[in-house]
Structure 1
Amino acid sequence: MAQPDEPRDEAIRRLDERADALAARTARATPDYGATAASYGYRLIGVLLGGVLVGLGFGFAIDAIAKTAPWGMIVGVLAGFAVSTWMAVRTAQRMTAEAAREWGPVRDLPVDDADEED
């Protein structure tokens, strides 16, 4: 509390410092959405490329064993692409549920009137 002989400006400065300290203690930390979203994107790319490469490997192995020239690799790449697409969709659904649990419901961006033309 301010002392009677204390200058008014000093009391206001101390009150501002206390208000800033209270705001710092009660402020919620902003989560780093960018890094998390980037990691989700890299994970999806890994799933997509991994499926195609595994299919290519299996197709090459089948070609080497069965002597079926390019057909094993063609079928392997197509099958790998199909499986990796299915896995990417499932992974994206799981990531969406995880993000909704962690970040809460989706919020709309505020309307920016400066961008609208009349």
Structure 2
Amino acid sequence: ISDELSSQADQLREQGQGVIFVAVAKEFAGFLSVTDPIKESTAEAIRKLHELGLSIVMVTGDNEKTARAVAKSLNIDDVEAGVKPQDKYEKIKALRQAGHKVAMAGDGINDAPA
């Protein structure tokens, strides 16, 4: 794809949107941007957790730029992006082994093992 289209896709990611590239007959045809709506209560919940002295880590399969944009908008402390569903459990396990108390909230069946 052209540098201009690549730049546009990056800008969308930096706004917290996922970008899906579309091909027709193996030729680039365009891209779509999608976003998961964030619940209105999420920012307040994170603020209250911070007041309790807790740190928030987002472990997601999303693109790095998209994940960082969402984390910044919600004041999330750290981001692990591009994590495959089967690797989320290992990330949680590593945090526990480092002595952290961990609570996990997921948004799909692929998060169940973690």
Structure in which a larger fraction of residues adopt strand: 2
TM-score strictly above 0.5: no
Q: TM-score range by the shorter chain?
A: under 0.3
Larger Rg computed on CA atoms:
1
Could you tell me the TM-score, scaled by structure 2's length? 0.25
TM-score, normalising length: structure 1: 0.25
Which one has the bigger helix percentage?
A: 1
